[in-house]
Amino acid sequence: ITSFFTTNFTQQIIYLYALKIQKAKQTIQKAIRALNDNRNLCEDFVSIDTVLDEEIAICCDIDVKPSADIDEVQAQVLYAIEEYLNPTVQFYTLDELVTKGKTTDEIFEGPRLNHGFIDTDELEAAQLRQEIYTSDIINKLMDIDGVTAVRNFRMTKYNSDGTPNQTLKGKAWCMPVSPWHKPFLSETKSKIIFYKNQVTYLPSLAEVRDTLKWLRASGMRNKLNGHEQDIPLPDGMFTQLDTYTSVEYLFPVTYGIGKAGLPSDVSDERRAQAKQLKAYLLFYDQLLADFFSQLKNAASLFSVDETVQTYYANFLDSIKDINDIYAKNGSTNLLQQLLQQQDSTVSTANAWQKLYENNTTFLDRRNRFLDHLMSRFAESFNDYVLLMYSLNFQTQQVSKITPSELINDKINFVKDYPQLSYERAKAFNSFPQNDDFTVDTPRLWDTDNVSGLEKKLCRLGGFDDPTSSIKSFFRRFLYCINNATIVTTGDTPPKYNFIFTNTNGDTITSYFYDGTTAEQNMYKVLMQVVDFFLAETNIGVKETAGNWQVLVADNNGNILATGNDFSSEAEANVSLQLFISEFNAACGDNDGLHLIEHILLRPRVAADSTKPFLLAPVCLDKDCDFCGEEDPYSFRMTIVLPYWPAHIRSIAFREYFEDIVRREIPAHTIAKVCWLSDASMYDFEPAYKNWLSALAGYLFDHTMAISKTNFQIANDALLSLLFNLHSEYPLATLHDCFENGDTNPVVLGKTILGSFKN
């Protein structure tokens, strides 16, 4: 029997210890998940681990008042020392922090919490201590009711094996704490003697411990639930503003225009005079009624909901005998009919637009109301209005963005502003996790798991993806080959055809590539073909053996691809233009961007010590002195955008967007902006996607050799690409002296020289 109970007790101890270890592991995993989900831009966590303890013993003599309860005083002393060494961070309700004198901005600063608010002062005081000062502890002990003096104060630090640290024994004034260690009070090794009138008193140890447990329990507040998380709005008094009382009712009864009206025996002239006065006063009634209706709809004017008007009107049908005053078409009241058409957005102007608010006025006023909303948050679309273009590269003509498109951009920006503002300095989660702490793979690609800066830049840039409902800031593929495929011809060695389809899946045309390029490099050739088509350069039609073909050549004149045979030059040109228009419409404006934080590309411990991580290039002169690029990792980022969308090819838009980047990024960071061609984007994005997956796998378990190896390969590949990216510039045309060359001129550093146009 004794053996059974002994074994069962041992198993219980082991089981409870295992549960404790599992609970500690889960706590660390939750902390890792929370930290990665709230990481700052261009910052990263090197490692996350538990803090080690350092045992501190305190010896001192304390004089107390004769009336003091020794047991309670000792419990208060121990609790005060514990709170000094490891302050408790508590949750507070909104009212409690307001009562403590905290201002609104202080209360709501920091991340959103689900269980109350945290006092920032308490949070800062809870940081790990580097030194323990005797004076601080004595000040806290002297605040305890009943304590009159603290004498002979000494501190001793103990090693991990429980033995006193001989160099840190009996310290009188200051005790250093080891880095990344937490000091805690050892009750059993401490010796605190209490005196009443210089007579020693020994408290009851059991009573002290019970009181200490009660103090700890009362000081430790659980997470709050069901509390108010926002300042309540003051209640107002509702007024029915669209219920209007006519000024006619304010006139004396003798005028005959009020509710009493005129006697039945008055002359027709008297009735005509009353109607004339009612008609005259109706102008003022209508103005006042419209004003109150405008005031009633003020919430709609300053909202981001869909609206069809910014002026409002009210039909006055409650005035006695007023129906005879209004103009009619048969039995139809013309003004009442007009006010039933309050829509300033219809393309064909209705009676409402002709009398009250036409479409041009509506668009102008709606834009200005939205400008007012944004100005409340120090935001503006003014530069965007001036520089947002839709540039036609054939005619070199620029058309401004339409007011309705601008309204949509502003509305989307204001709707997203709570998130954009809150996440303005927040980075993306490089290690998204499921509830079981495994990698949440869907949040790595085709996802809105991007930095707040990316979301805001896409909104300020007016980026949108017209080919899908996905928001422009989603991390996704931007390279433009979704309507192109490569098929082999079955020859030996294999040859390839480029098949281009429209949005319905119908084949537009195909181009034959007669070369020996390896299959894995064929997409690079395809990207060149696409770029040449979109730019409409290095392409043309040519007659060969009685047939016309579309030829695509590289910059050196080498033929990249040959199109189908056509019976005439006109048919070949039609096919060429069809491809260009269809391909541009399908994915030529796939707006978006990628933001890469250099700190995440830093080298780690390699799986093979003989093959270290690839390092980012550093600028050194011949004397090995730094020359401006000392640290390519810290607070650096690269922003990658597609080059081919029409408005992005405008240098004016690029300058605007790069200026927006410089103004919106945190002041301590530096950003490089790259405008990539389709081929470069195709090289970059698969490497970027692979790196994201490898980084998440490495963070999930960086102890496995395979995780280290995969991450190193992906990191080296992306690093090599990233620091060799260069921007593409619009193609300029060189004109001769007899041709007007004012449009699309050659500008050094902003254009590349195309073919000579004669």
Yes or no: say if 500 and 507 are a contact pair by the CB < 8 Å rule: yes
Yes or no: say if 194 and 200 are a contact pair by the CB < 8 Å rule: yes
The DSSP letter of residue 152 is E
Q: What is the pLDDT of residues 132-185, one digit of tens each?
A: 999 999 999 999 999 999 999 999 999 988 899 888 888 889 999 998 899 999
Helices 651-664, 452-460: inter-axial angle, 10-degree rounding: 140
What gap in Å lies between CA 324 and CA 38, rounded to an integer?
68
Residue 486's pLDDT is what?
Answer: 66
SS3 letters across 410-465: HHHHHHHHHHHHHCCCECCCCCCECCCCCECHHHCCCECCCCHHHHHHHHHCCCCC
What gap in Å lies between CA 447 and CA 449, rounded to an integer?
5
Q: What is the pLDDT of residues 664-705, one digit of tens each?
A: 899 999 999 999 887 788 789 889 999 999 999 999 988 888
Residue 391's pLDDT is what?
Answer: 40
For residue 602, give the amino acid letter.
Answer: R
For residue 40, give the amino acid letter.
Answer: N
In the block, tokens 């990316």 appear at: 454
Neighbours of 591 (CB within 10 A): 19
- Inform me whether the pLDDT recorded for 723 exceeds 70: yes
- Inform me whether the pLDDT recorded for 84 exceeds 70: yes
Q: What percent of the chain has pLDDT over 90?
A: 25
Yes or no: say if 429 and 36 are a contact pair by the CB < 8 Å rule: yes
- Which is more confident, 382 or 346? 346
State how beta strands 52-64 and 191-196 pair: parallel
Residue 153's pLDDT is what?
Answer: 93
297-315 CB burial, b ≥16 within 10 A, e <16: beeebeebeebebbbbbbb
The half-sphere exposure of 143 on its side-chain side, counting CA atoms within 13 A, is: 9
Yes or no: say if 741 and 688 are a contact pair by the CB < 8 Å rule: no
Q: CA 474: distance to chain centroid? A: 11
Residue 504's pLDDT is what?
Answer: 57
Yes or no: say if 258 and 248 are a contact pair by the CB < 8 Å rule: yes
Q: What is the pLDDT of residues 410-463, one digit of tens each?
A: 888 888 888 888 888 899 999 999 988 999 999 999 898 999 999 989 888 878
- Inform me whether the pLDDT recorded for 757 exceeds 50: no
Closest CA to 413 of 456, 470, 475: 456
Helices 134-142, 70-85: inter-axial angle, 10-degree rounding: 140
What gap in Å lies between CA 207 and CA 332, rounded to an integer?
93
Q: State the sign of the Cα–Cα–Cα–Cα dihedral 119, 122, 124, 126.
A: negative
Q: What is the pLDDT of residues 463-505, one digit of tens each?
A: 865 555 677 888 988 877 656 666 666 666 666 676 766 555 5
pTM comes to: 0.73
Mean pLDDT of 186-190: 89
Yes or no: say if 524 and 679 are a contact pair by the CB < 8 Å rule: yes
Mean pLDDT of 60-66: 92
Residue 755's pLDDT is what?
Answer: 44
Yes or no: say if 667 and 661 are a contact pair by the CB < 8 Å rule: no
Q: What is the pLDDT of residues 553-593, one digit of tens each?
A: 777 777 766 776 777 777 777 777 766 665 655 555 578 89
SS3 letters across 28-42: HHHHHHHHHHCCECC
- Inform me whether the pLDDT recorded for 597 exceeds 90: yes
State how beta strands 539-544 and 547-553 pair: antiparallel
For residue 167, give the amino acid letter.
Answer: T
What gap in Å lies between CA 636 and CA 673, rounded to an integer?
11
For residue 416, give the amino acid letter.
Answer: D
Neighbours of 97 (CB within 10 A): 20
Mean pLDDT of 276-302: 91
CA angle 496, 500, 503 (to 5 degrees): 155
Neighbours of 631 (CB within 10 A): 12
What gap in Å lies between CA 53 and CA 76, rounded to an integer?
23
Q: What is the pLDDT of residues 253-262, one digit of tens each?
A: 888 888 888 8
Strand ranges (DSSP E) for 227-318?
Answer: none
Phi, psi at residue 392, to the nearest 5°?
-95, 115
Residue 392's pLDDT is what?
Answer: 41
Length of the chain: 758
What gap in Å lies between CA 171 and CA 157, rounded to an integer?
9
Token pair belonging to 513: 């590539």
Token pair belonging to 640: 């990658």
Which H helix or E strand runs over 540? strand 539-544
Residue 123's pLDDT is what?
Answer: 86
